[in-house]
């Protein structure tokens, strides 16, 4: 890395952290790009609630979740993401006292429901989450009408991906240990 690149990356991070977004919008720093997303639509929120409800009722381990916690992913200051849902075992109390941009240690699964930029959810965020060694990445791809579960993070990608169409159930491994029902995603 050249000396010129270090201040530029530092300036980018400082600018990002100081960014003020309009009410309801959220900003993320992904692969050195600042992305600002509008508030999600009702169907997006409904899917988030359906997933959260199933996890709370059916997971083998009691889980806590956050839909507004920013994750500062390891390895580079250029990756600050806000998953639609972040799940962690309740016993870790991961979100209590956490800063606005917390480390991803202890996160069991992140979930993204596609909206304005589905290609970022499919590729760029997948690589970021794998680099952070987050065990499970679930993407609800509304454009494609499918749900994909990535597991086995290794380097900058996941070793395994399981895809089901909306309406089919998707087995979630431990610590979840149940089949996610997707029929209501239709």
CATH number at residue 51: 3.90.1570.10
Which pairing describes strands 63-66 and 70-72: parallel, antiparallel, or unpaired? unpaired
Q: What is the Cα–Cα distance from 148 to 140, expressed in whole angstroms? A: 7
> For residue 3, what pLDDT is reported?
40
Instruction: With a cut of 70, list the residues of the chain below it in pLDDT.
Output: 1-9, 75-77
Q: What is the Cα–Cα distance from 153 to 160, expressed in whole angstroms? A: 8
Nearest-CA neighbor of 157 among 122, 129, 118? 129
Q: How far apart are the first and last CA of the chain?
A: 47
Residue 97 domain flag: yes
Residue 122 domain flag: yes
> For residue 11, what pLDDT is reported?
78
Residue 104 class from Cβ within 10 Å (0-12 exposed, 13-18 middle, 19+ buried)? buried
Q: Work out how many domains the chain is built from and give that number.
A: 1
> For residue 5, what pLDDT is reported?
42
Residue 176 domain flag: yes
> For residue 7, what pLDDT is reported?
42
Residue 115 domain flag: yes
Compute the Cα dihedral for 143, 118, 161, 52 and give only its sign.
negative
> For residue 4, what pLDDT is reported?
41
By residue range, what is the domain housing residue 97? 40-185
121 token code pair: 């959810």
Q: What is the Cα–Cα distance from 115 to 140, expressed in whole angstroms? A: 10
> For residue 9, what pLDDT is reported?
66
111 token code pair: 């979930």
**pLDDT, tens digit, for every residue of 60-98?**
999 999 987 899 987 666 789 999 999 999 999 999 999
- Contact predicate 79/30, CB 8 Å: yes
Residue 4 domain flag: no
Q: Which residues contact 72 (CB under 8 A, 6 or more apart)?
A: 79, 80, 101, 102, 103, 104
Residue 7 domain flag: no
Residue 17 domain flag: no
Residue 112 class from Cβ within 10 Å (0-12 exposed, 13-18 middle, 19+ buried)? buried
């Amino acid at each position: 890395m050249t000396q010129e690149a270090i201040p530029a990356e530092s300036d980018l991070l400082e600018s990002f952290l100081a960014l003020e977004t309009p009410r309801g919008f959220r900003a993320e720093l992904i692969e050195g790009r600042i992305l600002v997303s509008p508030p999600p639509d009702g169907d997006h929120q409904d899917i988030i609630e359906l997933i959260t409800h199933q996890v709370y009722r059916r997971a083998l381990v009691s889980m806590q979740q956050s839909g507004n916690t920013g994750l500062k992913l390891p390895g580079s200051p250029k990756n600050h993401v806000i998953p639609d849902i972040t799940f962690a075992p309740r016993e870790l109390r991961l979100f209590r006292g956490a800063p606005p941009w917390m480390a991803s240690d202890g996160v069991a699964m992140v979930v993204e429901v596609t909206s304005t930029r589905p290609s970022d959810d499919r590729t760029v965020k997948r690589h970021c989450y794998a680099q952070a060694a987050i065990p499970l990445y679930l993407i609800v791809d509304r454009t494609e009408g499918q749900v994909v579960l990535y597991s086995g993070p290794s380097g900058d990608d996941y070793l395994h991906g399981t895809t089901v169409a909306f309406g089919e159930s998707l087995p979630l491994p431990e610590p979840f240990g149940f089949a996610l029902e997707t029929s209501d995603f239709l």
